[in-house]
Structure 1
Amino acid sequence: MSDSQNVTDYPNANTIFMVWKLKDSPQLKESFQSLCALVLNLNNSVFNRFPDSNASCIMGIGYEAWKKLDLPQPMPKELCNFEAIRGTKHIAVSTSGDLHFHLRADNKSICFDMAMEISDALSPVAESVLEVHGFKYWDARSILGFVDGTENPHGEDRDYFGKVGDEDPEYKGGSYLFTQKYLHDMTAWKSLSTEEQEKVIGRSKEKDIEMADEVKPSNSHIALANIEGENGEELKIIRDNMPFGNPSVNEFGTYFIAYASTFSTVRKMLVNMFVGNPPGNYDRILDFSTAVTGSLFFVPTRDLLDSFSG
């Protein structure tokens, strides 16, 4: 799996997320070939120029784009159009997107330059449908004030939970990428006491310590977002969430981004959150956080990108 894209890298201080929708253009396939080569070159360039910056450019490809670009068949086993998940009160919406870019570095200038190169390459054959600039907030906290990503796997577990294995040998080393842009109602959130906020999350706010099971509410975020398999084994995803915000217009949010070896793991977590476990016992954080996007992509290995580049 050494030729995988940088899905198991840890979050960096600056991030740009971009989603593009492909046009019907006679130059589309040729432009996509050049784009794949560009992604590989950007990663090589930033590694050589800024070896200590932990910079990377990761490209994911959506289901419709995979078909439109005539990429290999059969496609990755769990790549599909994400279907909205509807609970009694909240909805994990589905939004379209063909290509997703995750740009990160310790220096914002690196992210910005990579975004410009990608935009120059894509603008003739695609339109931008989303761009979010994320940043590290204090000690990896979300705008809600709690540490984010505490349940992330570490060490070898990041490969195990984040990359496709032998179950889909043609795409081994690749990764399923699911993203959601959340907007937070900070007025309502700030109206809660710290103790009430901690019950919503299931952790202490200051020290990031998880509540004991007998104290933690069953509808807390931690209780519902942590999931198990049929045999009781713990299932994990690699979260690379980043906060974003525009204080002058009262817009604050979290860009949720998950890399996983299977999309079914992510979907089970979403069902727990939005439908509830049991149904109706939905994730209380959704009363303060609204998902406005939801898209699934597949991140191919570097070798596959190289083959796509022609």
Structure 2
Amino acid sequence: MTQAQKGICAEPNLHALYLTLNVIDDDASTMRKKIAQILALFAHYDEEYYEAMVSGIVAIGTDYWYELYPRLIPQELSPFPITNSDDRNAPATPGDLFIQIKADRMDICHAIGAEVIQLLQPHVDLYEEVRGFRYLDGRDLTGFVDGTENPKGMRKFSVALVGDQDLDFTGGSYIHVQRYRHNMKKWQQLEVSEQEEIIGRTKADNIEFKSDNTAPFSHTIRTSLKDEYGNNREVLRQNMPYGDMTIQGLYCVSCAKSPQPFTEILTSRIVGDEEGNYDKFLDFTSAETGGAFFAPSINFIKQQAKE
């Protein structure tokens, strides 16, 4: 039975470590083996510190995939959908590997990350390291609950994981990563009622506005899309806040069985509708990174490591 990587559909944790790396040599055979070893590291720490609820994701950048696994290509593998409109941008930034490490203990995240870097040297350069944390019962630093629209229960798996439509990659997931930086000073100058209008929910108790009371530029409207059959265009988000006393933001990780919902939601937010209604929240936050990756199943990674 195909086994998906645990971190894709894992429940929220207290801490996360996000690593984006670039591969600097062409030793694909060694990298295939080392990626399988990273999975073994995750499994070891999950067993050794089971109370910490350890999980992880190893995902391969869409450009690097052709070097690493040239004989098998996911059907919808595609680069990050760079999107621009006026002063709103979704840039693409370098990244051959994306590694998400989550646990309820930051020291465990750190220990796993240190071993991952040691394992991958000297084959990689670390492009970016970001530490995420759970904030006030699942809220973004803006004060609003994040991930309310995430699919629940078993539906997470049908949304986030490739099914029988691509048999070689069943259990895999298309991963899109963006690091947003908030302008907290500008955001905090708004009245709570203005913030709520922009998000489309109440701040204190996270109640969604009725549709006839929701502004077309609200974050809720711009991210709630349907296809031609009336079905929700869903992704599973593994977002967490990050930052310190100087810089604050949200690290966004989207997992889905297809890259199309992410692309459509991004376009809806940045470009907007025919009336020019874009996601007004983008006036207060901006994406500084962007990457498209694919996280294959554990079975795939282990099998390819043998070849």
Q: Is the pair's TM-score, using the shorter chain for normalization, greater than 0.5?
A: yes
For the pair 1:52 / 2:48, whether they are aligned, the reply is no
For the pair 1:140 / 2:141, whether they are aligned, the reply is no
Q: Which position in structure 1 is the counterpart of 2:190? A: 192
Amino acid at match of 2:64: A
Q: Which position in structure 2 is the counterpart of 1:154? A: 152
Aligned-pair distance for 1:37? Answer: 2.6
Aligned-pair distance for 1:56? Answer: 1.2
User: For 2:150 and 2:255, how far apart are their aligned partners in 1?
Assistant: 11
Q: Which position in structure 1 is the counterpart of 2:290? A: 294
Q: 1:69-148, aligned counterparts within 5 Å?
A: 69=68, 71-148=69-146
Q: Which position in structure 1 is the counterpart of 2:30? A: 31
CA contact 1:87–1:276 (8 Å) conserved in 2: no
CA contact 2:102–2:109 (8 Å) conserved in 1: yes
User: For 1:103 and 1:52, how far apart are their aligned partners in 2?
Assistant: 15
Aligned-pair distance for 1:155? Answer: 1.2
Q: Which position in structure 2 is the counterpart of 1:178? A: 176
DSSP 3-state at the match of 1:253: strand
Aligned-pair distance for 1:308? Answer: 2.5
Identity %: 32
Q: Where does structure 1 lack aligned partners over 5 or more consecutive residues? A: none
User: For 1:187 and 1:13, how far apart are their aligned partners in 2?
Assistant: 26
Q: Where does structure 2 lack aligned partners over 5 or more consecutive residues? A: none
Aligned-pair distance for 1:11? Answer: 1.7
Cα-to-partner distance string for 1:88-121 (whole Å, 9 max, x where unaligned): 3311111121000000000111111110011112
User: For 1:159 and 1:2, how far apart are their aligned partners in 2?
Assistant: 13
User: For 1:47 and 1:72, how far apart are their aligned partners in 2?
Assistant: 31
Aligned pair partner of 1:217 in 207, 215, 232: 215
DSSP 3-state at the match of 1:152: coil
For the pair 1:274 / 2:275, whether they are aligned, the reply is no
CA contact 1:62–1:79 (8 Å) conserved in 2: no
CA contact 1:93–1:293 (8 Å) conserved in 2: yes
Amino acid at match of 1:17: Y
Amino acid at match of 1:282: Y
For the pair 1:4 / 2:20, whether they are aligned, the reply is no
DSSP 3-state at the match of 2:213: coil
Instruction: Indicate the larger mover: 11-20 or 31-40.
Output: 31-40
Aligned pair partner of 1:255 in 251, 260, 263: 251
Distance 1:279 1:89, change over 3 A: farther
Amino acid at match of 2:263: R
DSSP 3-state at the match of 1:176: strand
CA contact 2:42–2:112 (8 Å) conserved in 1: no
User: For 1:251 and 1:214, how far apart are their aligned partners in 2?
Assistant: 36
User: For 1:185 and 1:142, how far apart are their aligned partners in 2?
Assistant: 13
Superposition misfits of 4+ residues, deviation over 3 angstroms: none
User: For 1:74 and 1:301, how far apart are their aligned partners in 2?
Assistant: 13
User: For 1:137 and 1:290, how far apart are their aligned partners in 2?
Assistant: 20
CA contact 1:42–1:57 (8 Å) conserved in 2: no
User: For 1:169 and 1:2, how far apart are their aligned partners in 2?
Assistant: 10
Cα-to-partner distance string for 1:60-108 (whole Å, 9 max, x where unaligned): 0012211122x04341112122131112331111112100000000011
